[in-house]
Structure 1
């Protein structure tokens, strides 16, 4: 009987340990929603954070506008890393962001790209209306910041509403889809970030877009107001501002 009591007690103890372990694992999981253009840099940075904090990070990648809408609709997230201030401000205006944690952590540049075998010569955005320019990939301006920056640039020189230009547009769900369209030859040219060029050798930059044609391309980060992991979220926000992490962003083409 004593042996039976001991076995039962041991089982109860071990079950409690397993439950405690499971709870601890869940408590150290961070949910991050991040803009597509950050993918490569974050794939290098997140394992470093996980090792340092003994935590697990779940990464939700997408267009900033799409991610913001997901959060508005109740999708769980602890940290939001956006490729534009507009998407962040939409969440802030609804009280979904902890404004005290918001910060800018990176910057980027918009470029027009073509396939490496292209014969096109683009000297200015006005050249896009020429007949020799075929389909143009652009992120959906309603959900993809790179697409909105491209739209702003074309509006700046008064050609956004040009009918001959409009019919050339092929809208994409993300800036990486734009990159894929051009790399595979599905479109002649496309608008992407400078950082996107580093992972695709089938495309070349044709034109750097004048930075005065659109709002500054800056990347804000913030913790969600209803984060279930506020301490870990703040740790991550501090982590990506550390010098050695900023150097990783720089290696992937971002500026500050």
Structure 2
């Protein structure tokens, strides 16, 4: 079951940009959008003459763009599986791979919570017919969600009423606009819409929600890319990420 009213505003953030001298091209998971935009601004301020260009989307989609030739210098994924794929495709330098933040999956509902959902158990209530999650085939939050729900014995209920999102921000938008009864997103995404969505339960995932980052393996990679990665891992970079709700891995 799909909703066709999604306005692809985030499509602009996934446009492929050409690389020029003094530019660092960062391709990252959609859940990193706000934090990485601030990281880019801070890095540019500290490094006059350097421009950090960011593109965001579902980790698997971003990786596919890279493997198909889109220029990128840094790849940040929302799960290990996407980064494992990147290594297998020789799209990143494995020696630079490092875990840089931790997150968690939460069950969210529209702020007014018309169905009175307070936990996973309430997804079985009469009238709950639309539950949004990221597509597990390509979206890390969807993979985490499926694994968690299978462990909790709630996957069949959700599967029967699923509305699949192409990235975590699309799922968040469905919930925020009241187009679904509930959805599964990262805690950091829920935090940026705390006036529009309500977190009703943190979901225990079998695999910790830990994000890896690495330098892209390509000719012409920006020499500043390694320095940007160091900035992400620095105390200042980690402080920015913490302000957006990310924890240290």
1:146 aligns with 141
Distance 2:55 2:175 in 1: 25
Deviations 1:107-150 (A, max 9, x none): 10100000111144445434323323231011111111111111
Identify the structure with the greater helix proportion.
1
Task: Kindly state the Cα deviation for residue 197 of structure 1 after the two structures are TM-superposed.
Answer: 2.0
Instruction: Specify the SS of the correspondent of 1:254.
Output: coil
Q: With structure 1 as the length reference, what TM-score do the two structures score? A: 0.84
Q: Give the total of aligned pairs.
A: 228
Which secondary structure does the structure 1 equivalent of 2:20 belong to?
Answer: helix
Instruction: Give the match for residue 202 of structure 2.
Output: 208
Confirm or deny that 1:28 pairs with 2:22: yes
CA distance in structure 2 between the partners assigned to 1:79 and 1:36 by the alignment: 14
Residue 243 in structure 1 maps to residue 230 in structure 2: no
- What residue in structure 1 maps to residue 226 of structure 2? 234
Alignment of 1:6-45 (within 5 A): 26-45=20-39
Residue 47 (str. 1) matches residue 48 (str. 2): no
CA distance in 2, matches of 1:174, 1:97: 22
Are positions 1:179 and 2:172 aligned together?
Answer: yes
Q: Which runs of 5+ in 2 are unaligned?
A: 1-18
The question of 1:224 aligning with 2:216 is answered: yes
Which residue, out of 149, 153, 160, partners 1:158? 153
| 2:62 is equivalent to residue 67 of structure 1 | yes
SS state at 1:240 partner: helix
Who wins on radius of gyration, i.e. which is larger?
1
Secondary structure of the corresponding residue to residue 132 of structure 2 = strand
Shift in CA distance, 33/255, structure 1 to aligned 2, threshold 3 Å: same
Gaps of 5+ in 1: 1-24
TM-score, with structure 2 as normaliser: 0.86
Q: Where does residue 197 of structure 1 map in the other structure?
A: 190
- Among candidates 127, 130, 135, match of residue 132 of structure 1: 127
**Equivalent position SS for 2:245:** coil
